[in-house]
A = this chain, B = another copy of it.
Amino acid sequence: MATLQVMNSPLQQFLKNNNVDVDPKIIAYLTGDMRLTEVRNFATFWSPSAYEHGVRDDIVAKVEPYRTDMSSPASRVQVARLRTAWKLAQEQATVTKAGSGTLTTAGSGTARSFPTIKFSYFNVEGGGECIRLAFALGGVPYIDDRIDMATQWRDLKPKAKFGQLPVITVDGGEQIAQSGAMLRYAGKLAGLIPEDPVEMMKAEEVIGLSWDLVTAITPSMQLDRRPQLYGYQGTPQAELTRIAIGMREKLSAPDGDIDRFLGYLDGLLAKNGTGWFVGSSPTIAECEMIPRLRSLRKGNRDGFPKDIVNKHVNLMKMYFAFHELPAIKAHYKGVPPY
């Protein structure tokens, strides 16, 4: 999955200048796919107890040709070189810390250090993208462990907590499941959950509405794929499709549930008046909504009209403004997937 990129980040420089001879494809994976551009972020990606397995499982095992045979000498050399690089990064990070004070977040004035976060999810937006957006927006380094459903999921499913993705681990600890839990975790580390309890509740109100919208839509999405969930055993596929499309048309009607929920959300933006749902900057509320809105805007795939969001001008403004945020632009490598 690693793609070579024309980049010249400090981490790329560091890996080139220290003669550790890491394969450029691996460097590209680190700085491109994983968006690890700073040496200090690389240095904090694993705890000292986790890096030995970490560089192998999280990095080399994700890059071709090494992935195909991790026990080959070539793979093991790359793993060893990456370990050396990580130790060098540790030293450099320590020197930097001692030499120029503690690392600080812009504006926060407090030192920020992050645990080693490995976020595992399919290589799609789905229920996990909101979490990636929160990490990206807050500049929280994380291992973006993208699982290919066709080639990797069958082996991984029995090891995944509750047999599901996404799962997350922190500092090599136990797996924790549930995307909603991870969104709030990412949001907390990223500073995207308002401190004021009422403002926090308003951000959560948006998430609740988003889930209500999904709940309203879900039967129409699943009916022809998993009819047994709705008591439709034995109904012919063509009939299921007919019923599902009827449900989608009803949901998409001007007085339907989708328009109603989008109207609620649009109204919250209008009322707040800053362009964001709560306060004057994006929160977990926006991280939650962006992939939902994109899914709706894809339209045809699920039988919903593509233009269903368009009339909600505040939502659309927020949608485009969010993609213009530098951290989000970087997350999408400059090509926002409107």
Which residue from chain B places its CB closest to the CB of A264 in the assembled complex?
B162
Q: Are A202 and B176 in contact (CB under 8 A)?
A: yes
Q: Are A198 and B170 in contact, with the CB atoms below 8 A?
A: yes
Q: How far is the CB of A185 from chain B (nearest CB, A)?
A: 4
By a CB distance below 8 angstroms, the chain B residues around A88 are none
Q: Which of A116-170 contact B (CB under 8 A)?
A: 162, 168, 170
A181 contacts partner chain B, Cβ-Cβ < 8 Å: yes
Which residues of B sit under 8 angstroms from A178, Cβ to Cβ? 204-205, 207-209, 212
A189 at the interface (CB under 8 A from B): yes
Complex-state Cα separation, A303 to B189, whole angstroms:
43
Residues of B with C-beta under 8 A to A204: 178, 180-181, 184-185
Which residue of the partner chain B has the closest CB to A250? Answer: B228
* B219:A198 contact, CB within 8 angstroms: no
The listed residue (B180, B197, B211, B231) touching A188 by CB distance below 8 A is: B197
Which residue in chain B gives the minimum CB-CB distance to A181?
B204
Contact A197:B189 (CB < 8 A) given known A219-B230, A231-B244: yes
Chain A interface main SS type = helix
Distance in Å: Cβ of A331 to nearest Cβ of chain B: 21
For A330, list chain B residues within 8 Å (CB): none
| 8 Å CB interface, A99-130 against B | 115
Protomer copies: 2
> Which residues in B have their C-beta under 8 angstroms from that of A207?
178, 180-181
A200 to B184 Cα, complex, angstroms: 8
Residues 242-285 of A at the B interface (beta carbon under 8 Å): 243-244, 246-247, 264
Interface residues of A in 182-218 (CB under 8 A from B): 182, 184-185, 188-189, 197-198, 200-205, 207-209, 211-212, 215, 218
Q: Which of A185, A244, A247 has the most CB of B within 10 A?
A: A185
Cα-based distance from A162 to B170 in the complex (angstroms):
38
CB distance from A190 to the nearest CB of B (A): 10
Check if A182 sits within 8 Å of B197, measured CB to CB.
Answer: no
Contact, CB under 8 Å: B184 / A198: no
Q: How far is the CB of A210 from chain B (nearest CB, A)?
A: 10
* A-B CB contact pairs (8 Å), 14 listed: A162-B209, A173-B198, A176-B198, A178-B204, A178-B207, A178-B212, A181-B208, A185-B204, A211-B211, A215-B218, A223-B231, A230-B230, A230-B231, A231-B244
